[in-house]
Structure 1
């Protein structure tokens, strides 16, 4: 049986948000009433003391079912004496009879007063009721989804099945979250979590996004070991983690800027810091990237001895943290090439490269996570590069040695001057082969032997191609000359 789409009710609510006419007014009140036994409006009053005077600001009232109410902390207590004269005026501005109001004071700020006024849900504007409907529908839906997910995951016995299931849910949630952000088009990250007093379509989309993000956070916490780390991390998750590393981030940035390291290295060390420092809702930052950058900041904070920051220490830290960017690789290899350039010969260069190879092989890095997951670790990159350099220089030395040997050989080579032409010489060797005087079967070797060991009156260099051509194309005049030479040789054999 195909599992039900996890966000089916989210899609339904989004359709209602985009076309609120499909929800009738009398449908909303009973639904909303199910979530509370009492109904009242809350008006926040902030008292401000300045230059010996006190004034106050009254904020727009919100219903006790509004999502912001969960963050309010108030208690019933006696009226603060210095603010008591303002109460009648405040109630008058709010148009609330004194006998129909309740006063509560903020538990965290004694200068904040909350005025509670009973009301009927059906008396609320349609937009407010619809917003509350969306909020509590989503809140209720999230509880159901969490329960269903836990039950389904519990039934899976194989890790791969759990991963597949969690990855599918992540994709569904991320895709819808991305769509919502595009529709909301927030000015900045904080705007996404702020509601207007209009309770309009955008406010409803915002509350939908917030609860969608809560689901992502739930999956992140409950199934951390099964997450697809290439999925975009919820912005709320980055805020929570960012709170933990903010001070460390500031100190690392400050100390790096105060150091005397060169601009190129500073830019490299700053790269992961900026990813965290400039994070916003529009940019896609994956779990993998965020986790690496967070660990990078914490580890760099621990490893750097701030009283003495040198370029070598920074490089060691970046290497240890497996900062495998191509720019850092270039920085390391440029340093090695600079060291090699001052050596007198390739033997010295190879000696240095072998020493570096040993050192890098013995170095430890955080191989479990790297800056760029699509590239090899920085250790693998450097070792591979050094090995290639050693191989190149070794081959170059061997080639140079062979060329030197060949030059020496060529300079010492003595060729026999023959009175025969190339054609005649070729034919003469052909006769030697036919008569069995020369028993070598590879004719190419014979052509090469003639080329390397004989010269004529007309040329010092006889090409093998020329010999081969004359060998197979014998002219009559050539045969006549050789016949006469053979007769001459026979005459020399007489006693």
Structure 2
């Protein structure tokens, strides 16, 4: 049975050695202070190993839960005491201040280890004590400042970084009316750690950047970030001129988004819905809207085409010549360059739809053009006589 108290050295250091009410801190030698500084890292490593060994030896979840919570509450208690000790004048300056800061950092690392490795055995929805909150905020704000200086070659990624910085800065503004839980503090620490790691390998991927994929995965449901994703999609759709093109690109963006995972256990803002739910809802409504708009557009185009066709039918010019005779005159007009177009086919295509005969209302320009190559002598004579009649008429003017 394990009877060793793993926190014994650091406990004694905080509650006795560096406690101005129980010892004369000024009697500590330079070698004592150097030893304390060097031993902190070793002790932290030993405590983590001891905790893992103790948990590994247990089989019941209830026992593990009690052990994890015991470690966690003791670390919070020690953190509270070292911060209180810092109020003493002798610990506010020089090497003593640096030692107390090192102890605070060590305790913070141990708390992060417990919270991150064994979150299922802790009540992360408890309100954090003020000393713990102050230390955590100091660490988070330091990392936020470091993140705000990060710049990449991708403008969209830089914009997302600024959104993260702004969201976390606002979240960490001191407001006594807010209940800050361990879960929220742990989320922000883990988010900053993952973002920093992601930026080290950030590169252009698909429509969504690797940073987007991370934020969607950890359910970063900040309203400004969600608006940014929507704006990003809308700007992408502007490159498409047709509704069909916009719908196609929107479906592509939705497909890419649907393939990204998003946690339902964690959230940046627990009071809001999951980022996946909100964006999927937007995609579905936007696709439905564009598809309906396209349907209405098709209806309008069909009505306009029908109206145009009716008007064309009503506005046709009736020619007393047959289609064969009409074809000869148009062909002659093209080949004599009286009528000029890119091709003879274009001459027929442009003129014939507006002509009719006493026997036929709608003429096919292809049919009329083909007849210009197979005209009978009688049709040629009638065409010539018609042109002579026109010549005589012009002479009479």
TM-score normalised to the size of structure 2?
A: 0.43
Give the number of the structure whose alpha-carbon radius of gyration is greater: 1
- Tell me which protein shows more strand as a share of its residues: 1
TM-score normalised to the size of structure 1?
A: 0.36
- Tell me which protein shows more helix as a share of its residues: 2
